[in-house]
Chain A
Amino acid sequence: MADETEKGLESALRRRLLMGLAGLPALAVMPRMAFAATPPTSAVNTTGLAVTDTEVTVGILHSATGTMAISETGSIQSEKLAIEQINAAGGVLGRKIKVIQEDGASDWPTFAEKAKKLLVNDHCAAVMGCWTSASRKAALPVFEQYNGLLYYPTFYEGLEQSKNVIYTGQEATQQILASLDWVHKEKGAKSFFMVGSDYIWPRTSNKIARKHVENVLKGTVSGEEYFPLGHTQFNSVINKIKLKKPDVIWVDVVGGSNVAFYKQLKAAGIDLNKQVLLTISVTEDEIDGIGGENIAGAYSCMKYFQSLKNPNNEAFVPAFKKMWGEKTVIGDVTQAAYLGPFLWKMAVEKAGSFDVDKVVAASPGIELKTAPEGYVKIHENHHLWSKTRVARAKPDGQFELVYESPELIEPNPFPKGYQ
């Protein structure tokens, strides 16, 4: 495992050398901020944001209640941790971050409503928030209309790019393509059976995966099945899988269905140590509900796992547990949410201003070397360059890394040839 650490460092180093120029401004900004006096508010805030000489207001907008609270709690926690750490280190442009938290209540118009409140009433300089695509789609017009800035943490289907959003999660191709290549190469996988929940993210992801399997890997997709959200009976599709005997079961089932699917798969005698199962919807958070023993052996494709071995992560995990309890687990999205406040801070300091337009202009090229997932960088299309990782679920609910893409993967929210 020490290997991993070195590899992570090495690639970060190589990146920095390669992109020396891009790295310089960030390096140059940091010492200046540490010693320079706090710049006057009138200079850093020309658009009427909630910035005083000592404080800057940032919004957090997730569901603390309702069905999505299960998933979004981790994001709220890591965003609060990040903000606390930033404040402890002196804040942003000498100003402490003040948080206004609003509850989206798992209800999409409420997200739009609260987004508007955060922008219009509270004049938040940035908002960390949204989780489901539906909530983002509902809030997006508000951010565009009032020129707000949203940091969106979830891995999602892509097909979107907004000036007012920084996507800190992976879009579909970043999550899928490298892992398909891996399973093709390592396991000799030729045939795939896809099972998903019936909504836009699984359908789009599977579409991309299918094109890649059929056109690039020259394999076959022997089945593609969707079930309504919350469906709990999978015995029929499991029989179908047994009949087709695919090399890989490709799963993007979400929520409560996830639990039912893996329990029934296990009960049906499909041994995940023999049958390759690749999922893009299971993080440490989900395993909590599924039960480690039910999913042990499955492969998950994410960009972050709690068990990653690198110095950043070894600092992040204890800090998170210290703040939120020993028993909490950290999933991919929780980590992506943690990046938001830091990316914003760096962009603000690079721009020397809180003004949204300037922060947006400064964002592309921002590099974060302290990310728990390793090194990330903001692309011109507002998504992050990040690695694809594949890890195998263990009975204790953690993952064991088995593959990591050697290079950062370029975000490509509108992939040509995959639509």
Chain B
Amino acid sequence: MSATTGLPPAARRRSPLARLAWSDYWSAVGLPGLIFVILAFGVPVLVIVVKSLTDPSPANYSAIFDSGIYRQSVGNTVQMALVVTGLCLLLGYPYAYVMARSGRILRTTLMVALMLAFWTSLLVRTYSWQILLNDTGVVNQALMEWLGVVDEPIHMIRTKFAVYVGMVHILLPYSVLALYAQLRAIDPDLERAARGMGARPWQAFWRVTWPLSLPGAVAGSVLVFVLALGFYITPQMLGGAQNIYIGQAIVLQVEEFLKPGVGAAMAVLLFAVVLVVLGIAARFVGLGRILGIGEGRGK
């Protein structure tokens, strides 16, 4: 913008693009990446937006709300995303806390366990849950034959329960990593100081560590919530037909009802909601922290 004033006269005569590229070596190096992102992400988004308005008309947007399936899927999705976010926070906080405060060996073990899950393909993990939770799956077999606790298989697959289990498993690392980065940045002496001033362990945690870890908790939760909103594969494979989520509703519009324009409008709406959620959260904790770049680490 006003960077021109700082440039030598020779640079100022060049075209704006050349100036951008040459004024900073790193922007020149980053240019191919930028072009790729524009082609692979920016253009498709634009195509979808255009499609939602022109295939056949902007009436697509009002059609969304006529669809009972969509209304239902929005309710399901928000509920699922909230439950999954809550569970991730509940399970992830103690995990991250132990990881941040333990010795090297325990920390590495916990980190490796987390990352192994994280790096395993989403498809593989979802299929594994299918195998585990089937009526004839490992869990039911164990309950019936080895432990003899139940006579009939417990119906788990194609229920909300199965979706929650699978989603929490897949999204937990995001909340753990965000919380871990935040907790690591808190000086352990702060809790010691509180203890030395007469605070019981839970008081020291509640008055000092918890408030200081809130930005990490918010960042991790927003990330989990936003990712959960748009999840398709896991709900599709583990959930039941009576409970569909936004992703599935979009696919239905495109593939079953052959109304790609309405599907596109739904996708645009979801995208807008995600942007709004991120925007609101960014006002409180900073976007870099949510996305895991800068800020969250170090101080």
Query: Do these two chains interact?
Result: no
A residues near B (Cβ < 8 Å) are none
